[in-house]
């Protein structure tokens, strides 16, 4: 009678071990354990061992030394955990336990929550609008009130070891690339396979057309297809074949020191082109108050109780508009059997008229940036300017992002 | 409004020319759809916030879009 209970306890403790280390390596979102996996010990063992880059035996034995290896090899992980706590404190998201832990460490990076004078921001927003109205008439609605006025802003936090954290991150990227290419011509050792699997999972290394982590076993299956497509184990073809999925939660530019290392920012933006816009947006959110409101003489915006409801509404509107377009196309084809090139160009221009603008029903809200005062910037002004420079025009010091070469390739049918 | 918006669009066109950027390259770098860039240039920029964002990107002032 005692045996099943022991087995159940062991399964529970292995699950707890997996959960703890998934959390420490930030793998929860990267490696989804299905309910089936969680219920099935064999599946759990296989999936979790692969993701953690350890053997199933080590996992069963809850071998801390084996799993801690990546933390020791790549200081990124320990630093990133600290970085996260600093960020949560800066955003007022830290729980009491995290705050206590932070205080027990050294309190580095602590940024007290700021309070702003809403009335002052509102008044400055109105002044900015009045000034803008001279150049863009209609910006200020004389006699109307700005209602539902909201503002948002953020602050940097301090994290002096950002360069070490990012360098370690790039070490991981370099290492996974090295193992990726070596696997084209030879079989990796068991140890290397575990490291490759761990890194591929953490970095979410994927074939551009296959939305799953490319573990070693998948890689070996794909190599012959890559060769058939004429690809070579070279840096250029890595970028053409592989994507490292951009992690929106990882925002190294949220710390003040990030912009002191433009070469690291550049390297990060080469790997993740999306990062450039994120740097720019973050810089703006530090330098300005992002204000939104509605003029009292304009119709109220449509309100939705949930994002799903809003999406449904937008989909319905899009369907209606497509139906209208399609009906128009049918009319056009009746009018003119053959089109010359000019007519075709005209159609393209018409189609591209307003792809990204809000629907008129949602247009009622207005948005404006209001610069912060020196006091409100609380010493963040210089770093915000530097970050905005990195996120801005390349000619003015912005990081360069190359248009993905894979856009030009159309040879991936064998992989889909 | 229309004239001023068109002037801001023209300024954007000049900035792209000065910086030797195609609309496509700029759209990619500015993280927007090329159709937005095309619309801004041809039909003008009507939103303050868009001009503020563009001014920050090019490191010029809001007023520079209208002179």
pLDDT in the model for residue A107: 53
Degrees to nearest 5, angle at CA A245 with A31 and A390: 140
Per-residue pLDDT, A343? 29
| Percent of all residues in chain A with a pLDDT value above 90, rounded to a whole number | 53
pLDDT higher than threshold 90 for residue A194: yes
The model's pLDDT over A142-175, given as tens digits with 9 standing for 90+, comes to 999 999 999 999 999 999 999 999 999 999 999 9
**Which residues in chain B touch residue A403, judged by CB atoms under 8 angstroms apart?**
25, 28
Strand partners, A243: A206
> Rounded CA gap, A48 and A213, in Å?
13
Angle at A360 between CA A355 and CA A362, to 5 degrees: 100
Q: Does pLDDT of A1 surpass 60?
A: no
Q: Is B8 in CB contact (< 8 Å) with chain A?
A: yes
Q: Which of A116, A331, A136 is nearest to B50 (CA)?
A: A136
Average pLDDT, whole number, for chain A?
81
CB distance A356–B36 less than 8 Å? yes
Q: Flag whether pLDDT at A369 surpasses 60.
A: yes
Highest mean pLDDT among A21-25, A70-74, A95-99, A241-245: A70-74
The per-residue pLDDT for A269 is: 95
DSSP A378-415: TT-HHHHHHHHHHHS-GGGTPPP-PPPGGGG----GGG
pLDDT of residue A105: 61
Contact assignment for B48 to A368 by CB distance below 8 Å: yes
Residue with the larger pLDDT of the pair A376 and A239:
A376
Percent of chain A with pLDDT over 70: 74
Q: Please give the Cα distance from A253 to A278 (Å, whole number).
A: 8
Enumerate the residues of chain A whose CB falls inside 8 A of the CB of residue B5.
Answer: 136
Mean pLDDT value of segment A9-30: 84
Closest-CA residue of B relative to A367 is: B49
Instruction: Give pLDDT tens digits for B11-65.
Output: 999 999 999 999 999 999 999 999 999 999 999 999 999 999 999 999 999 999 9
| Domain segments of chain B as ranges | 2-66
Structure token digits, residue A339: 């089109």
Question: Chain B within 8 Å of A381 (Cβ-Cβ)?
Answer: no
CA distance A63 to chain B (A): 45
The residue-averaged pLDDT of A90-94 equals 70
Q: What is the pLDDT of residue A178?
A: 95
Task: Give A275-328 pLDDT, tens digit per residue.
Answer: 999 999 999 999 999 999 999 988 766 666 666 777 777 777 777 666 655 554
Integer Cα distance of A52 and A66 in angstroms: 9
Distances (CA, A) of A131 to A137, A139, A264, A355, A406: 10, 9, 39, 30, 45
Q: Which two tokens stand for residue A292?
A: 């939104």
Predicted ipTM? 0.95
- Cβ contacts of B51 on chain A, cutoff 8 Å: 136
Could you read off the pLDDT of A229-281 as tens digits, one per residue?
888 888 777 888 888 888 888 899 999 999 999 999 999 999 999 999 999 99
CA–CA separation, A51 vs A197, rounded Å?
A: 6
B36–chain A nearest CA distance, Å: 7
Which residue from B1, B8, B49 is facing A137, i.e. has the nearest CB? B1
> Where is pLDDT greater, at A223 or A365?
A223
CB B65 within 8 A of CB B4: no
Residue A149's φ and ψ, nearest 5 degrees, are: -70, 125
**Nearest CB to B48; choose among A139, A280, A353:** A139
Residue A109 has pLDDT above 60, yes or no: no
Q: For helices B34-43 and B23-30, give the axis angle rounded to 10 degrees.
A: 120
pLDDT of the residue at A416 = 46
Which residues have a Cβ under 8 Å from the Cβ of A118 and sit 6 or more positions away? A151
Out of A11-15, A32-36, A296-300, A375-379, give the one with best mean pLDDT.
A375-379
Residue A48 DSSP symbol: H
Domain with residues B2-66, CATH architecture: Orthogonal Bundle (1.10)
Encode pLDDT of A23-56 as tens digits: 889 887 666 555 555 556 777 788 899 999 999 9
């Amino acid at each position: 009678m005692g045996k099943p209970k022991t087995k159940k306890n062991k399964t529970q403790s292995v699950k707890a071990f997996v959960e703890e280390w998934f959390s420490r390596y930030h793998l929860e979102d990267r490696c989804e354990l299905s309910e089936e996996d969680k219920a099935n010990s064999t599946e759990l063992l296989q999936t979790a061992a692969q993701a953690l880059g350890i053997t199933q035996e080590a996992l069963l034995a809850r071998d801390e030394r084996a799993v801690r290896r990546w933390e020791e090899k790549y200081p990124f992980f320990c630093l990133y955990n600290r970085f996260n706590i600093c960020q949560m404190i800066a955003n007022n998201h830290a729980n009491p336990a995290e705050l206590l832990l932070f205080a027990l460490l050294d309190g580095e990076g602590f940024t007290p929550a700021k309070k702003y004078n809403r009335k002052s921001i509102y008044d400055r927003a109105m002044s900015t609008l009045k000034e803008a109205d001279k150049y863009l008439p209609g910006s200020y609605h004389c006699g109307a009130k700005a209602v539902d006025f909201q503002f948002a802003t953020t602050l940097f936090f301090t994290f002096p070891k950002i360069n070490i954290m990012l360098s370690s991150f790039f070490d991981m990227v370099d290492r996974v690339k090295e193992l990726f290419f070596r696997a084209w011509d030879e079989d990796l050792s068991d140890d290397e396979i575990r490291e490759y699997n761990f890194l591929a999972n953490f970095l979410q290394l994927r074939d551009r057309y296959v939305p799953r982590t490319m573990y070693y076993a998948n890689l070996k299956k794909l190599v012959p297809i890559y060769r058939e497509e004429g690809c070579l184990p070279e840096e250029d073809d890595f970028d053409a074949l592989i994507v490292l999925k951009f992690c929106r939660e990882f925002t190294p530019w949220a710390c003040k020191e990030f912009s002191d290392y433009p070469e690291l920012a550049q390297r990060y933006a080469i790997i993740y082109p999306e990062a450039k816009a994120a740097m720019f947006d973050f810089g703006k959110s530090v330098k300005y108050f992002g204000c939104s409101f509605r003029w009292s003489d304009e119709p109220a915006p449509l309100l939705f109780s949930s994002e799903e409801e809003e999406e449904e509404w937008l989909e319905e509107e899009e369907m209606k508009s497509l139906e209208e377009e399609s009906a128009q196309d049918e009319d056009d084809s009746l009018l003119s059997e053959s089109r010359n090139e000019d007519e075709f160009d005209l159609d393209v221009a018409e189609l591209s008229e307003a792809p990204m603008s809000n629907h008129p029903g949602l247009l009622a809200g207005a948005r404006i940036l209001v610069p912060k005062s020196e006091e409100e910037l609380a010493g963040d002004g210089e770093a915000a300017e530097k970050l905005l420079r990195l996120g801005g025009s390349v000619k003015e010091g912005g990081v360069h992002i190359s248009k993905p070469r894979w856009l030009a390739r159309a040879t991936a049918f064998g992989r889909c | 409004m229309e004239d001023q918006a068109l002037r801001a669009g023209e300024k954007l066109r000049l900035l792209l020319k000065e910086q030797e950027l195609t609309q496509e390259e700029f759209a990619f770098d500015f993280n927007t759809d090329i159709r937005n860039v095309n619309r801004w240039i041809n039909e003008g920029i009507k939103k303050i916030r868009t001009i503020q964002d563009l001014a920050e990107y090019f490191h010029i002032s809001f007023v520079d879009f209208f002179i």
